[in-house]
Amino acid sequence: MTSTRVTSHASPPATTTFHAPRTERLMVMLLPAPYRDELIGDLLEEARTVVTPRVGERAARRWLWGQLLRSTPHMLRLHLRKELTMRNEKLWGMVLILVMGSLQAWDSGVLRAPAYIAAMVVLAITIGVVALLFAERMGMRFIASAVAFALLFGARILSPIPLPELGLVGFVIVMILVVAPGLMAAKHSGPQGPTSAA
């Protein structure tokens, strides 16, 4: 009786040799990054510890392949929906920055100001657009918004023409880069708290 227990405990380490390199490579290529590691880890663990001892290594590879075929479309759909939402937010934010900056520059007479004033305003708007498109971390957005706001503030001080509207442009850039993403994150994370706790 003791020997049977020893052999039953000795069998799981043999199943840890299960390896499906082709399927794993396909998983890495097909599955989107936010879900890839967790899903691959769960499927491989189940294949090693549950499926292989029951049906063998070859059947476990077929099972893993079937799970990949069933999971990939759903994961790609979730990833595509998230990417489209993020791209729409970035696109509308970029359009808003460009429109507001151009209108304020035109109405406030920046185009009639010296070249270095116009260059500072254009550079501030460009920094805001680039940060909106490429800066995923909130810290980088804070830095970009601070630099853009400082450029606009400097342009307002140095300009021989009164340009009070530049403060509004800086406020819009800060709102889009810092405040709006924070509000969106709070809105999305708020309903998930009780469900995750449950």
Out of 6-20, 90-104, 128-142, 168-182, pick the least confident: 6-20
Do the beta carbons of residue 166 and residue 152 sit within 8 Å? yes
What Cα–Cα distance (Å) separates residue 47 from each residue in 57, 60, 74? 9, 6, 20
Looking at residue 15, its pLDDT comes to 41
Average pLDDT (56-79) is 73
Length of the chain, in residues:
198
CA gyration radius, the chain: 27
Longest dimension (CA), the chain: 96
Looking at residue 192, its pLDDT comes to 47
Residue showing tokens 């010296």: 114
Share of the chain above pLDDT 70, in %: 31
Do the beta carbons of residue 101 and residue 167 sit within 8 Å? no
What Cα–Cα distance (Å) separates residue 125 from each residue in 2, 53, 109? 76, 61, 16
Its pTM stands at 0.33
Q: Return the higher-pLDDT residue of 23 and 145.
A: 145
How far apart are alpha carbons 28 and 37 in whole angstroms?
A: 8
Residue showing tokens 């100001």: 113
Average pLDDT (64-81) is 68
